[in-house]
């Protein structure tokens, strides 16, 4: 890795470890003791970044600041402005709820190739649709390389006693969303936010709700998706300003840049540029090869997926959870 590549890797990986810990909704879920302590000092961030750099120099493996694991892309809701673009999936392009064996195989492969994952998020769709979710969470919590685990849910499916038991682990937090106000939900689905929240409190399970913390929450429209030839300068600017530059995801063994990239990868015809960038952990020849692929994944000025993503004309202040057919 030359000097320029390492600077890109440092910005997109090493420096993101600190930045992710300082994101309000994540910081409210966990006590990042080292980061919160060092943030009191002028050079605290530099000291922390140096520590992560030294770890990389010793282990030759990356720390993943934030990593989202798609349990499924299927959801119980169909929100118009979903940041995962769920309404645009088809029955053929959806990923079905993952079973425990597939989850374990993918996670074990990934962990052999990295130093550790700081914030590991189980997302969807709606993760509660997975029958094996209790076993999945229990296994994830047992892995020392997973420092903090988040389960994101829309509270339409109540947790079983078995799931509540495994979520009591202090490494785990639940990110709940309140869609109680949403109208025209189809297929007999009901939002059970108050019941879900009560169960978490009764079982002393850590959780957070961005809506309650911030009051009225509105959404913004997703970017228009189409392929074009944007300049490297435009793509770099888009990448640096996008939430997707810190939240790589994995779906069916394939690592993509972010939630929108998962949609593109599963629904559109991919260019040779994107195919070259995608990391398929199920096809890696060895852990060392996978480690190098992940390092290269971070050491780029922008993602090939950015060619599809157009952030102009984004609308803000849109109703949260508005349903579509």
In a domain, residue 232? The reply is yes
pLDDT in tens, 185-221: 988 999 999 999 999 999 999 999 877 776 667 888 8
Residue 11 inside a domain? The answer is no
Structure-block tokens of residue 94: 């959806």
What is the per-residue pLDDT for 25?
87
* pLDDT for the residue 210: 75
Q: What secondary structure letter does DSSP report for 219?
A: B
| Residue 254: per-residue pLDDT | 96
Predicted local confidence at residue 215, as pLDDT: 64
Please tell me the predicted confidence (pLDDT) of residue 243.
75
Give the model confidence (pLDDT) of 68-97 as tens digits.
999 999 999 999 999 899 999 999 999 999
Contacts 24+ apart (CB under 8 A), 274-278: 274/304, 274/305, 274/307, 276/304, 277/303, 277/304, 277/305, 278/254
What is the CB neighbour count within 10 angstroms for residue 8?
17
Q: Is the pLDDT of residue 52 over 90?
A: yes
254-256, strands of its sheet edge to edge: 207-208, 172-176, 146-153, 116-123, 63-70, 249-251, 254-256, 279-280
Residue 176 falls inside a structural domain: yes
231 close to 257: Cβ distance less than 8 angstroms: no
Helix then strand then coil, % of the chain, to nearest 5: 45, 15, 40
Q: What is the pLDDT of residues 18-39, one digit of tens each?
A: 999 999 889 989 999 999 999 9
Asked if residues 257 and 244 have their Cβ atoms less than 8 Å apart, the reply is: yes
Is residue 6 in a domain? no
Q: How confident is the model at residue 111 (pLDDT cuts 50, 70, 90)?
A: very high
Q: Is residue 20 part of a domain?
A: no
What's the rounded mean pLDDT across residues 240-254?
88
Instruction: Note whether residue 119 is domain-resident.
Output: yes
- 249-284 pLDDT, tens digit per residue, is 999 999 999 999 999 999 998 888 888 888 999 999
E-state strands within the chain: 63-70, 116-123, 146-153, 172-176, 207-208, 224-225, 249-251, 254-256, 279-280, 309-310
- 219: domain CATH number is 3.20.20.70
Is the model more confident about 107 or about 225? Answer: 107
Domain that holds residue 192: 62-310
Per-residue pLDDT, averaged over 153-164, amounts to 97
The per-residue pLDDT for 216 is: 63
- Whether residue 200 is contained in a domain is answered as yes
pLDDT over 90 (residue 140): yes
Say if residue 202 is exposed, middle or buried (CB neighbours under 10 Å; 0-12, 13-18, 19+): exposed
CB 76 within 8 A of CB 55: no
Q: Average pLDDT, whole number, for the chain?
A: 93
Q: Report pTM.
A: 0.95
**Residue 177 phi/psi, 5° resolution?**
-120, 145
Q: How many domains does the chain have?
A: 1
Decide if pLDDT at 2 tops 90: no
Provide the percentage of residues in the chain whose pLDDT is more than 70: 99
Q: What percent of the chain has pLDDT over 90?
A: 74
256 lies in some domain? yes
């Amino acid at each position: 890795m030359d000097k320029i590549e390492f600077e890109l890797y440092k910005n997109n990986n090493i420096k993101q470890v600190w930045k992710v810990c300082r994101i309000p909704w994540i910081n409210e879920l966990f006590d990042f003791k080292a980061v919160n302590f060092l943030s009191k000092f002028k050079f605290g961030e530099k000291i922390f970044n140096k520590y992560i750099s030294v770890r990389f120099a010793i282990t030759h493996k990356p720390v993943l600041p934030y990593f989202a694991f798609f349990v499924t892309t299927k959801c119980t809701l169909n929100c118009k402005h979903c940041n995962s673009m769920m309404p645009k999936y088809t029955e053929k392009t959806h990923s079905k709820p993952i079973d425990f064996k597939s989850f374990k195989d993918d996670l074990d492969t990934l962990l052999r190739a990295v130093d550790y994952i700081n914030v590991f998020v189980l997302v969807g769709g709606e993760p509660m649709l997975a029958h094996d979710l209790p076993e999945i969470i229990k296994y994830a919590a047992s892995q020392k390389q997973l420092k903090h685990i988040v389960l994101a849910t829309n509270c339409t499916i109540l947790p079983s006693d078995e799931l509540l038991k495994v979520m009591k682990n202090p490494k785990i937090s639940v990110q709940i969303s309140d869609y109680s106000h949403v109208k025209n939900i189809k297929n007999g689905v009901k939002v059970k936010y108050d019941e879900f929240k009560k169960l978490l409190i009764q079982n002393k399970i850590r959780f957070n709700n961005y809506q309650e913390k911030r009051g009225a929450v509105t959404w913004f429209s997703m970017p228009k998706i189409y392929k074009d030839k944007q300049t490297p300068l435009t793509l770099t600017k888009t990448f640096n300003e996008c939430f997707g530059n810190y939240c790589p995801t994995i779906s069916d063994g394939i690592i993509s840049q972010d939630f929108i990239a998962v949609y593109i990868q599963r629904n559109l015809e991919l260019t040779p540029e994107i195919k070259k960038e995608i990391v398929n952990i199920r096809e890696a020849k060895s852990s060392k090869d996978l480690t190098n692929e992940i390092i290269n994944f971070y050491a780029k000025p922008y993602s090939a997926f950015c060619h599809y993503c157009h952030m102009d004309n984004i609308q803000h202040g849109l109703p949260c959870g508005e349903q579509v057919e």
